[in-house]
A and B are shown apart, each in its own frame.
Chain A
Amino acid sequence: MSVSNLLENWSKFRHTHPVDDKGHPDWEAYPSDIKWAMSIDLDACTGCNACSVACYAENNLPVVGKEKYSHGQAMHWMRIERYWDESAGVGEFDADKGARFLPMMCQQCEAAPCETVCPVGATNHTEDGLNSQIYNRCIGSRYCSANCPYKVRYFNWYNYPEQEKVWPEPLNQQLNPDLTVRTKGVMEKCTFCKQRTYTARNNAKTEGRPVQDSDVQTACQEACPVGAITFGNLFNPESQVAKQWKSQQVELTKEVQDKDEKEGNRLRGYRILEELRPYPSVMYLERVRESAV
């Protein structure tokens, strides 16, 4: 690196925070025609955990074992949260009354709290609207996880591939070659199956056409037996996810959704912890049916 390099103006390569000065995500800062987004229908979700298992297989997640799991050190990028129904009074829960499930993964916030706090810039916003995580750059300060309201970032407390031997021969043969395994001391999280979306984008580019819904499915979406998960390009008005967001009157750049009053009662779409203004990219569809017992 020479001195003249240092003196050049590199500011154009700097990451622009999506809500800089505007109060809401600014698409002009992103000359991109792709914004990956998701919608999850909680009415359809049965809590079967297939998405979680698929995620483990697709993203080379270490299975940490019973002891570490009970220590809260599980690496489930996609987790199914189970909530018992309230029975008689407030705060009384009864397993026999039924349960509700919520699949939770990185919400790929547009104004992500995790991005600004990383001291080394290991987590950044990509032009297709994801929070990237650069494993090689991460020094493990865990500030991103500290500032994440959803706590969906997972830290490698141990050296799982080598020291903990989570994939003993021949299990290592089933690792996904499209992405790495992570060593100890780095943070990781859901990437919306980046290895798949990039392949889809490249294929579409080669064929000279925009990305379509049929090009890519995330592992969780693919595995979901009831089709509760929809994934796609929010900027493409023809995509399933864009249609769902629109029909639910949920807008990415709105912090409070001003829903049509007439339709209001029938709408089920919401985003979790929206009031903190992270502008998450995952819309959940409220559940209307009775709880499963």
Chain B
Amino acid sequence: MGKDIREDIAWAQINKDVLKSLESPRKLYWVILLVAIAMVGVAVGCEIYQYNVGLGVGNFDNPNVWGLYIATFIFWIGMSHSGTLLSAILHLMHADWRKPIYRFAEAMTTFSLMTAGLFVMVHLGRLWQVYYALPYPSERWVWPNFQSPLLWDAMAIFTYLSSSVLFLYIGSIPDLAICRDNIHQGWRKKLYSILALGWEGTDRQWRNFRITYLTVACFLIPLAVSVHSIVASDFAMSQQPGWHVTSFPPYFVAGALYSGCAAIITLFIILRYVFRFEEYMTLPILKKTVRLTFAIAMVWTYLNCIEFAATWYSHDEAAKAVLIEKATGRFAPFFWGMIFCGSVVPFALMVKKWQTSIPVMFAVSLLLNLGMWLERWMIVAPTFSHGYYPWTWDEHMWPSMVQWGIVFGSFGWFTLLFMVFCKVVPSVSMYEVKEMVYHRSLAKKKEEQAVKEELAAKGAN
């Protein structure tokens, strides 16, 4: 494997390269932005229609009361987890190859959580009363129902979102100061001046910064695990066949890390090209991310097998019927599609030549995420259409274009937020890349020193 970063990049060069991404990306950036805005337009149109006429336009019916919205909600929550994995867990483990890519991964966390939050709203029958789910003091002394997993969900996500925003912001302060010092006019200067909080880079500031960053990182890790466990509780705590599964929380967390890592690969490739980050987002780093993704893919496959086996060998006839229905009924193409994309395609990640091939990895990462979206849908939908009560079985209800439109548009919404962020805040952490380069150059000097000493020793002999 080659070097994950050149040790002789000058620090000024790093500043220059990264700051350039804030000003002149490739044309493709604007194309992506326009497409994203158009996609958001589709979703907004669908939502306005649904809001005015009622949820019925999404093609829901009595057993199928949850549609694509909840499945896509889980998908976006799941995607958020790898940002934390990369920025917080690997930070604690001193894996310094994460340094050039953790900033955008953390941004991905924040924005996918925001997208997921929208799905809660879109899903509700009475969106205008959403504040009933908040424990706010009211003159009627009514509280939300703390027994409900849905409420735990709302709280967990809110906590995770606010902590992620904080973590993302704290980590960017030194970089925002660099932006402030290097950009000389306009609204950006004012924005960075405010956001940098008077950062000067004194020793005391760095010390405080390190401690704060570490504290928030430690705080965030248990949250990342708990959030998706709680999302899993929405299903595991219910009584329905196919949902009432003990292994759901770890299964959901593994699925979350999986789709998140796949999304990181996709965004890695896009950012690398759009912002000309070839020097920083290097192929050896891609290789490491790909290996990590493969490991998580195997964990996910294993947990999937556990779930199927537990259902198959249990005496729960209803759950077994749901599993058989998934594999042979109307959902069969999607179920097997999920197995193919989630458990077979990742073996492409094992091929050494493909690990650093940009087009192959781009295609594979998209397929992996398609598989993970299908997984969430296959968790939600079949239980509704094939539940406990045979008289209400209904495999024929299909989500309407309104539902598909909103799901489609959510990808645009995420891309829009993410792309705007990358143009305003440096998506490569400048100060951490400098650290990385510094450590690498020290290591190299040491090596050279050792060689010299060896030669000297030989000469003395």
A-side residues, CB < 8 A to B, are: 1, 5-6, 10, 17, 68, 71-74, 81, 83, 102, 104, 113, 116-121, 137-143, 145-147, 149-151, 154-159, 163, 184-187, 273, 276
Contacts and interface: CB of A to CB of B under 8 A. Distances in A.
Given A71-B61, A119-B144, A184-B125, 16 more contacts: A1-B141, A10-B141, A71-B397, A73-B60, A73-B62, A102-B391, A116-B148, A121-B143, A146-B65, A146-B66, A149-B239, A151-B389, A156-B54, A156-B125, A158-B53, A184-B126
B59 A71 contact: yes
Contacts of B66: 142, 146
Contact of A5 (B127, B141, B384, B394): B141
Contacts of A83: 391
Interface stretch (B1-9, B128-136, B223-231, B339-347): B128-136
Contacts of A185: 54-55, 124-127
B125 A119 contact: no
Contact of B239 (A17, A102, A137, A276): A276
A81 B389 CA distance: 11
Nearest to A75: B62
Given A157-B55, A163-B54, A139 B149 contact: no
Given A141-B123, A149-B389, A185-B125, A113 B239 contact: yes
A216 to B, nearest CB: 28
Interface in B101-156: 123-127, 129-130, 132-133, 137-139, 141-145, 147-151, 154
A137 B142 contact: yes
16 contacts: A6-B137, A10-B143, A17-B147, A72-B397, A73-B61, A73-B62, A83-B391, A119-B144, A121-B142, A142-B65, A143-B148, A143-B234, A147-B240, A155-B65, A273-B389, A276-B239
A187 B124 CA distance: 11
A31 to B, nearest CB: 22
Which 5 pairs of residues, A with B, have the shortest CB-CB distance? A140-B125, A157-B56, A72-B61, A185-B125, A121-B145
Given A113-B238, A120-B145, A121-B145, A139 B126 contact: yes
Contacts of A141: 123-125, 150
B275 to A, nearest CB: 41
A184 B63 CA distance: 18
A145 B56 CA distance: 15
Contacts of A155: 55, 60, 62, 65, 125
Nearest to B134: A120
Interface in B342-394: 384, 387-389, 391-392, 394
B54 A154 contact: no
A186 B65 contact: no
B104 to A, nearest CB: 33
Contacts of B149: 117
A143 to B, nearest CB: 5
Contacts of A102: 391
A140 B126 contact: yes
A139 B389 contact: no
Nearest to B388: A149
B55 A140 contact: yes
Interface residues of B, number: 48
B394 A72 contact: yes
B387 A151 contact: yes
B238 A117 contact: yes
Contact of B56 (A17, A68, A113, A151): A68
A143 B150 contact: yes
B245 to A, nearest CB: 15
Given A142-B125, A146-B66, A147-B239, A163 B53 contact: yes
Nearest to A10: B141
A158 B56 contact: yes
Interface in B47-101: 53-56, 59-66
A10 B143 CA distance: 10
A149 B318 CA distance: 11
Contacts of A74: 62
B218 to A, nearest CB: 30
Contacts of A157: 54-56, 60
A155 to B, nearest CB: 6
A119 B151 contact: yes
B260 to A, nearest CB: 26
A72 B384 contact: no
Nearest to A137: B132
A86 to B, nearest CB: 14
Given A138-B126, A141-B124, A276-B388, A151 B150 contact: no
Contacts of B60: 73, 155, 157
Contacts of B141: 1, 5, 10
A171 to B, nearest CB: 20
Contacts of B61: 71-73
Interface string B318-346: 00000000000000000000000000000
From B129, B133, B145, B240, name the one whose CB has the most chain A CB atoms within 10 angstroms.
B145
Contacts of A5: 137, 141
A121 B151 CA distance: 10
A117 B150 CA distance: 7
Contacts of A149: 239-240, 387-389
Contact of A184 (B55, B133, B137): B55
Nearest to B52: A163
A120 B125 contact: no
Contacts of B59: 71
Nearest to A272: B389
Nearest to B126: A185
Nearest to A117: B148
Nearest to B55: A157
From B65, B237, B387, name the one whose CB has the most chain A CB atoms within 10 angstroms.
B65
Interface in B138-196: 138-139, 141-145, 147-151, 154
A113 B240 CA distance: 10
Given A118-B145, A138-B125, A150-B389, A158 B133 contact: no
A139 B62 contact: no
B392 A151 contact: yes
A155 B67 CA distance: 14
A226 B185 CA distance: 87
Contacts of B63: 72, 151
Given A71-B397, A139-B132, A141-B150, A146 B240 contact: yes
Given A73-B62, A154-B62, A159 B239 contact: no
A138 B133 CA distance: 10
Contacts of A120: 132-133, 144-145
